[in-house]
Structure 1
Amino acid sequence: MIVSKVSVIIPNYNAERYIELCLESIKKNKSELEIIIIDDGSIDGSRKKLSKLSKEDSRIVVEYQANMNASVARNRGMDLATGQYIIFVDADDILEAGAIDLMVESMEEYQVDLVIGNHILVDKSGKLINKSDDFIEKSYIEKNPMNLVDKVPNPPNKLYKLEIIRRNGISWGNVRIGQDINFYLKYLLFCKNVALLSNVVYSWRILSSSMSHKPSLKILDIVNSFKNIRNYYILMNREKLYVKYIQCIEFEHYNRQMEKQKYFQDRAQRRFIVSYFSYFLKRIMSQGIKKSVNFPNYKKRYFTCKIKLTCKSLYVSKLYSRMMKNR
């Protein structure tokens, strides 16, 4: 019998179209739930809809804030949470029926500090696009959680312990890019073991209008996210662990964001983006990244990146952009 209370934190920004479907999927669980929705300054009809939904279900608590970002909203949700466990769901996500129950049962049966399930990608209408790149084919228990630093950090397929979060002062970094990886890598630091489930627990809706799919100089903020993570590891006296496991992840995220330069029409912007990330990538390369335990997984991308930085003029050219867009 499931008796543990779960706090579901949902940041909402202009998701009037999807929030009700999201809530319906969450309610398909037997666990005791409190659903905390932090509206991040929506300008659509969200406020009216949320007011109606909260009156219909006493488990739903809604709080409004000026538009800041999802991290601020999630941190506020954590402040209000009273559950033993906590899950973060975006307003346009859809949980599988019984997903929360399954993760709670796994948390307690296997006595782990974190549960990670599978997720699939769907379009705006809910049609399947593909399964995730790091799909878990067989359930298992990971006894060295730092081996999981390169898992997709999306929050809705993860069940956390609120006590671990509060005891260690873990929060979402106030950044515009890399929010999920920021929180996930901080929490992973305090896990003794993790349960990974082959079950699909949620559908990630891919929207072309989301920030991650629009050319924007906000991509530069990934650097601030990793600075925040590194500073937290230093604060916890775990900087050596950061270098050993996280440095390659930092490199990968900078490299990935730099590659988005090809979507910018203005050559000056492309040059600026590459120059900006070049500075930080070269610094990581000079800090002994090859000694990181997970470097073999990134070896090919490491040398490809070196070539790009050596041939900057070609890399920022229209020819490169056209070639890569057509791939």
Structure 2
Amino acid sequence: MEFTVSVIIPSYNYAHGLPHTVKSVLKQSSVSEIIIVDDGSSDNTAEVVADLQKNDRRIQFVYQSNAGPAAARNRGLERATADYVMLLDADDELLAGAIYNLLEPLRFDPQIELVVGRSVAVNLDTGQRKSKSFKSFSTDKEKNFVAYLEKKITLAHGRFIAKRSLFARIQYPEHIRGAEDLSVYAQLFANAKALSIPEEVVLINHHGDSFRHNSRNTGESGLKVVEAVFNPKLVSSSLMQYRKRFYAQR
């Protein structure tokens, strides 16, 4: 069975870097659409995307008034139509064969809902690179959820594909800025059959104008994040016992 992937790229004033990121996606197999969500940019993002669209009809452009990265990702997810989705930051780059490697486990077990590869962090100021270490996931969703909260396993945009149907329930919390991805990652682990692979799939670039926030080092209100993570509609009652422990860590 062949699966398809929608790649969602939120962007804010990053027109100069978008072509490089998009081209890294166009080199991948099984990508049915690339959805670029412009979060109210004041640069020439629209013109840059229009030029890219001339060469590939899979590229879609969505504009919204500035509402933050969570809202941009949610708009992209609403538009996605493929079997699986990948969320990629506008300043990152997929490595050769990334989508193929992430889809490969599904050919043996199509019930897998979340596949996570390794990333390579690049400091654009120094050129230093650091590869994420490989850590196997448990077959138990609760163990993965707890391991994520305890920072024993990690997740980042560009490293994973997830079954699109998961996002019918899981959404990025638009009222949180700076840690909006943390609750989504936790809820994916709580709800999805997950698998990690040893292959490196994405270059994550670190610089001053990245369209990202470090969810582990944010000043965001701890209570807001905890409430988002432990949404009773998305997290089973058996996992609620970890709420106090997680709040104490914030």
Instruction: Please state which band the TM-score falls in when normalised by the shorter chain.
Output: 0.7 to 0.9
CA deviations on 1:127-175 (whole Å, 9 max, x unpaired) are 343223xx106xx562013333232231210110012322xx1111111
Task: Give the structure with the larger helix fraction.
Answer: 1
Other-structure match for 1:145? 141
- What is the match of residue 233 of structure 2? 235
1:220 is aligned to 2:216: no
Q: How many residue pairs were aligned?
A: 239
Percent of aligned positions that are identical: 24
Paired residue type of 1:155:
H
Q: TM-score, normalised by structure 2?
A: 0.86
Distance 1:155 1:249, change over 3 A: farther
1:159 pairs with 2:158 = no
* 1:241 aligned partner, one-letter code: L
The structure whose RCO (Cα within 8 Å, separation 6+) is larger is: 2
- Residue of structure 1 equivalent to 2:177: 176
One-letter amino acid of the counterpart of residue 127, structure 1: G
Secondary structure of the corresponding residue to residue 235 of structure 1: coil
Per the alignment, residue 52 of structure 1 pairs with: 51
Structure 1 residues 222 and 74: alpha-carbon distance in aligned structure 2, compared to 1, 3 A threshold = farther
Residue 228 (structure 1) shift: 1.7
In structure 1, what residue type is equivalent to 2:224?
N
> Structure 1: how far apart are the matches of 2:160 and 2:235?
26
- In structure 2, do the counterparts of structure 1 residues 118 and 237 end up closer, same or farther at CA, with 3 Å as the change threshold? closer
1:109 is displaced (CA, Å) by: 1.9
On the 8 A contact 2:187/2:234 being kept in 1, the answer is no
Tell me the residue number matched to 2:100: 101
Question: Does structure 1 residue 199 correspond to structure 2 residue 195?
Answer: no
Helix, strand or coil for the counterpart of 2:158?
Answer: helix
1:251 is displaced (CA, Å) by 3.6
Describe the superposition over 1:203-241 as per-residue Cα deviations: whole angstroms up to 9, x where unpaired: 11111344648xx9x7234532321222x2x23462431
| Post-superposition offset of 1:108 | 3.2
Q: Determine the C-alpha separation between the residues in 2 that align with 1:250 and 1:26.
A: 37
Letter in 2 for 1:200: E
What's the TM-score once normalised by structure 1's chain length? 0.67
- Higher share in strand: 2
Q: Is the 8 A contact 1:9 1:87 kept in 2?
A: yes
Query: Considering only aligned residues, what root-mean-square deviation do their CA atoms show, in Å?
Result: 2.4
1:64 alignment partner in structure 2: 63
Deviation, structure 1 residue 248: 4.1
